[in-house]
Amino acid sequence: MIEIKNIKKRYGKHQVLKSVDFNVEPGEIVGILGENGSGKSTMLTILAGLQRADSGFFNIDGKDLLKHTKLRNDVVAYVPQETPLIQELTAWDNLRMWYSTDRLKKELKDGFLAMLGIDQFIKVPVNQMSGGMKKRLTIGCAINSNPKLMLLDEPTAALDLVCKERIYTYFEQFKRRGGSLIIATHEVQEIELCDKCFILKEGVLSPYKYDGDIPHLIGRL
């Protein structure tokens, strides 16, 4: 089980996160909902190690990943909203920064990279890719270490339906293999994929059970 406990973050006088607590089971997708500016991205970047929390711990297998940088890099993958790819390079060249040649070929043939459809645009430079291609390639780069947990910040925002379906299929396969996902999202399709959801509002994370009632969800945000 993954435990996130007492995560706090303040910027000056503004308390962005006020003792955030939740657990994630193996093979579980957890959705984090909230308005823009509610602190969702801040929480994910803390868990990814890109900024420090003021307090708290992030426990996997008895280790606090807020303190164990190497272990966190091995077991946690982070996919931000923006595209952290080298624009002038092809998909292959970006992936080669993270994979050995032999492993990359295997993954493109029958692994997760093939499931994401990256083999179909492997020679295309990033600056000629669609938004969906870039997102799938970003995910492909992020999962190079066979992570136990993926952190995804609005992973399918503004993507077309075909691309979304490819990514959702990957999510389902990842969780079937025992992987866990934390997704910050506004997308109804993503919310429906989640095993449990939380709403982050005014720095406080509260459980929320989505039942398809959009007006009720909007009222809670």
Q: Looking at the 3D structure of the chain, how many domains does it have? A: 1
Closest Cα partner for 187 from 215, 159, 166, 219?
159
pLDDT in tens, 120-131: 999 999 999 999
The domain that holds 20 is classified in CATH as 3.40.50.300
What does the pLDDT average to over 79-87? 92
Closest Cα partner for 36 from 201, 217, 213, 214?
201
Q: Give the confidence band of 215 by pLDDT, cuts at 50, 70, 90.
A: low
Beta bridge partners of 183: 31, 152
Domain, as residue range, for 122: 2-220
Instruction: Write down the H helix ranges in the chain.
Output: 40-48, 69-75, 91-96, 101-110, 112-115, 131-142, 161-176, 188-193, 214-220
What does the pLDDT average to over 207-212? 83
Q: Give the confidence band of 204 by pLDDT, cuts at 50, 70, 90.
A: very high
219 pLDDT more than 70 = no
pLDDT in tens, 29-61: 999 999 888 899 999 999 999 999 999 999 998
Q: Which amino acid would we find at residue 184?
A: A
pTM of the model: 0.92
218 pLDDT more than 80 = no
Q: How far apart are the first and last CA of the chain?
A: 28
